[in-house]
């Protein structure tokens, strides 16, 4: 092969290579631009209102998709987001409150949860009983806001099922 055709060959490869790299980079840039750098999602820490506004028993907060339970001075919160595919479960009151042993301490169960999308069922403490749900419903940390004493939930902070917040 002569030097001339070597050079031609090289230039053709160079041109094609440059073209492929150029188009490839455009593609990568286009895809990367679709990955958001700033999140405009609502904050995960939400004020829920003064503790004394909550009735004894269950209160459903649709905006946070959260069940808040009050027993006298203690509070806990269970997520209403089904662990299967994210539909909002509904609470159904039991005809008779039951007591179950959860993580070594008795819990009074007044409701059960049912999912309208694929039929998962959960016990009152969020334990998955039947249907396709792979995990129990999440429990979230409750705190009291230092400024105005409102109940605060952190939807990014999952806690164990023995978590209770006691409000003085």
Partner 1 sequence: MALLKRKADPAAPGVHPQPLWSFRPRSDRESGDAIVANFVLHWFPAKVARASLAWGYSFWLGTASAALLLLLVLSGLPLLFLYVPSVERAYASVKDIEYVVTFGAWIRSVHRISAHLMVAVVFLHLVRVFLTGAYKNAAGGGQHREWNWVIGVVMLLLTLFLSFTGYLLPWDQLAFWAVTVGTNIASSIPLVGPQLRELMIGGREIEQATLIRFYVLHVIVLPGGLGALLAYHMWRIRKDGGLAASDLDAPPERPRPEPVVPTKTYSLLGVARGQSPVIRASALEAPDTTVNAVPDLTRRAAIVTLGTIAIVSILAVVIRSPLEEPANALLTPNPAKAPWYFLWLQEIVTDTTFRVGSFTLNGAFIGGVVLPGLLLALLTAWPWFDRSPAHAAGRWFPASRRRQNAVFLLIVVGILLLTFVGMFMRGPYWQLFWPWEAWPEIPSRI
Token pair for 129: 């009983």
Which region among 6-14, 16-24, 82-90, 96-104 touches partner 1 (by CB under 8 A)?
A: 82-90
* CA gap 130, 143 in Å, rounded: 32
Q: Does 131 bind partner 1 (CB under 8 A)?
A: yes
Binding to partner 1 in span 86-125, by CB under 8 A = 86-88, 90-91, 114-119, 121
The number of residues that bind partner 1 (CB under 8 A) is 30
State in angstroms the smallest separation of the CB of 136 from partner 1.
11
Is-contact 78 125, C-beta < 8 A? yes
Strand partners, 32: none
Residue 5 per-residue DSSP state: H
Q: Residue 124 in 3-state DSSP?
A: coil
Binding site for partner 1 (CB under 8 A): 34-36, 39-42, 60, 62-63, 65, 84-88, 90-91, 114-119, 121, 131-135
């Amino acid at each position: 092969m002569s030097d001339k055709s070597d050079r031609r060959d090289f230039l053709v490869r160079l041109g094609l290579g440059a073209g492929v790299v150029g188009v490839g980079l455009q593609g990568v840039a286009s895809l990367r631009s679709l990955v958001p750098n700033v999140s405009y999602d609502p904050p995960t820490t939400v004020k829920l209102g003064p503790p004394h506004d909550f009735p004894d028993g269950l209160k459903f907060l649709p905006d946070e998709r959260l069940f808040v339970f009050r027993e006298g001075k203690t509070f806990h919160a269970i997520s209403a987001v089904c662990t299967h595919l994210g539909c909002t479960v509904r609470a159904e009151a039991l005809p008779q409150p039951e007591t179950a042993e959860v993580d070594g301490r008795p819990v009074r169960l007044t409701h059960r949860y049912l999912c309208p999308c694929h039929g998962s069922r959960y016990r009152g403490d969020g334990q998955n009983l039947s249907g396709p749900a792979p995990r129990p419903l999440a429990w979230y940390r409750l705190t009291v806001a230092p400024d105005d004493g409102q109940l605060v939930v952190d939807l990014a902070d999952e806690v164990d099922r023995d978590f209770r917040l006691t409000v003085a």
